């Protein structure tokens, strides 16, 4: 069911009144750019692939070539995808209302940035980044670390010096989130007057907890999602519909 005009008007009013807005985005905001989500029952990545084999340090250690190949094809998908109207609406609004909007994303694509959003807080890393799987041996010796860009080709590429393997710069299951990003996200959640939760199932913590933090600190919470989410209980209002339709209407 599409949200009624009253609901949209109410949220537009909250947006106008809020001195600080935080937006928490998930895979659903990139769905209309052609990127698969994770938990859709038919097309979601985790419906087709085993996260323990493909998105954990143990899975990578067991079969690096399999994991590297899977991320290589996801990287191709990210490079081919284009930002959609939802990414653009956020970037355009922030450019006009400087200092009022913080974008916190669970997405590992770069579509917010390519739409023009600046200072995006990336909780789950960057799929296009290369990093070493193990701590660089040179770094352990107190020397400047080897550059993953100079790794010897292979699946995955390896360090010519010590054989260390290159991995994608995403957060895998069982790994901590980047501390600086999580701190910045928590601060945005605590300070905002309004949080928009866009295109996330709200199933993965600590990211999903940011909506609860915002609510606890007095913010209004609005969910933009065509389906129910695990954060609906926190929301003042749930706008049921696709992000690329609703965000331009909210932020025009």
Q: Which residues are catalytic?
A: 124
In whole angstroms, the minimum distance from the beta carbon of 198 to ligand OAD comes to 6
Helix (H, G, I), strand (E, B) or coil at 20: coil
Find all residues with CB under 8 Å of 119, minimum gap 6, and list them: 102, 103
Which residue among 54, 170, 197, 223 contacts ligand OAD (CB under 6 A)? Answer: 170
Q: Beta strand pairing status for 101-105 and 121-122?
A: parallel
Residues 56-115 that bind ligand OAD (CB under 6 A): 106, 108
Q: List the structure tokens of 116.
A: 């023009």
Which residue among 18, 23, 31, 102 contacts ligand OAD (CB under 6 A)? Answer: 31
Q: Which is nearer to ligand OAD, 36 or 69 (CB)?
A: 36
Contact call for residues 132 and 146 (beta carbons, < 8 A): yes
d(CA 84, CA 87): 6
Residue whose Cβ sits closest to ligand OAD? 28
Which residue among 3, 169, 178, 199 contacts ligand OAD (CB under 6 A)? Answer: 199
Nearest by Cα to 11 from 190, 224, 185: 224
- Supply angle C-alpha 203, 205, 206, rounded to 5: 150
d(CA 186, CA 40): 27
Which residue among 39, 97, 131, 249 contacts ligand OAD (CB under 6 A)? Answer: 39
Find all residues with CB under 8 Å of 96, minimum gap 6, and list them: none
Which residue among 57, 116, 145, 226 contacts ligand OAD (CB under 6 A)? Answer: 226
Q: Which is nearer to ligand OAD, 124 or 220 (CB)?
A: 124
In whole angstroms, the minimum distance from the beta carbon of 252 to ligand OAD comes to 17
Which residue among 225, 235, 238, 250 contacts ligand OAD (CB under 6 A)? Answer: 225
Contact call for residues 107 and 30 (beta carbons, < 8 A): yes
Is residue 27 involved in binding ligand OAD (CB under 6 A)?
A: yes
Which residue among 26, 64, 157, 169 contacts ligand OAD (CB under 6 A)? Answer: 26
Q: Which is nearer to ligand OAD, 67 or 171 (CB)?
A: 171
Cα distances (angstroms) measured from residue 74 to each of 36, 126, 157, 225, 244: 10, 12, 17, 24, 22
Q: In terms of DSSP H, where are the helices of the chain?
A: 5-17, 45-48, 51-54, 57-62, 64-80, 85-96, 111-115, 137-140, 179-191, 209-216, 243-251
Q: Which is nearer to ligand OAD, 54 or 188 (CB)?
A: 54
Q: Which is nearer to ligand OAD, 44 or 77 (CB)?
A: 44
In whole angstroms, the minimum distance from the beta carbon of 160 to ligand OAD comes to 30
Q: Which residues bind ligand OAD (CB under 6 A)?
A: 26-28, 31-32, 37-39, 44, 106, 108, 124, 170-171, 199-201, 203-204, 224-227, 229, 242-243
């Amino acid at each position: 069911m599409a949200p009624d005009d009253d609901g949209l008007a109410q949220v537009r009013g909250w947006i106008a009144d809020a001195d600080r807005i935080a937006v928490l985005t998930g895979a659903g905001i990139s769905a209309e750019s052609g990127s698969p989500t994770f938990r859709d029952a038919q097309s979601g990545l985790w419906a087709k692939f085993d996260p323990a084999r493909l998105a954990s340090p143990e899975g990578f250690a067991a079969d690096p070539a399999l994991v590297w190949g899977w991320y290589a094809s996801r990287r191709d998908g990210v490079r081919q995808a284009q930002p959609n109207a939802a990414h653009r609406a956020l970037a355009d609004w922030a450019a006009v209302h400087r200092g009022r909007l913080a974008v916190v994303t669970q997405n590992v694509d770069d579509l917010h940035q390519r739409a023009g959003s600046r200072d995006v807080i990336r909780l789950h890393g960057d799929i296009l980044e290369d990093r070493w799987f193990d701590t660089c041996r040179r770094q352990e010796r107190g020397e400047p670390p080897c550059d993953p860009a100079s790794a010897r080709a292979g699946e995955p590429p390896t360090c010519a010096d010590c054989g260390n393997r290159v991995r994608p710069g995403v957060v895998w299951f069982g790994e901590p989130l980047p501390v600086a990003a999580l701190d910045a996200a928590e601060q945005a959640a605590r300070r905002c007057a309004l949080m928009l939760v866009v295109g996330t199932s709200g199933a993965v913590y600590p990211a999903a907890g940011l909506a609860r933090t915002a609510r606890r600190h007095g913010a209004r919470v609005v969910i933009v999602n065509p389906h129910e989410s695990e954060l609906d209980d926190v929301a003042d209002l749930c706008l049921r519909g696709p992000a690329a339709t609703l965000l331009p209407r909210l932020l025009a």
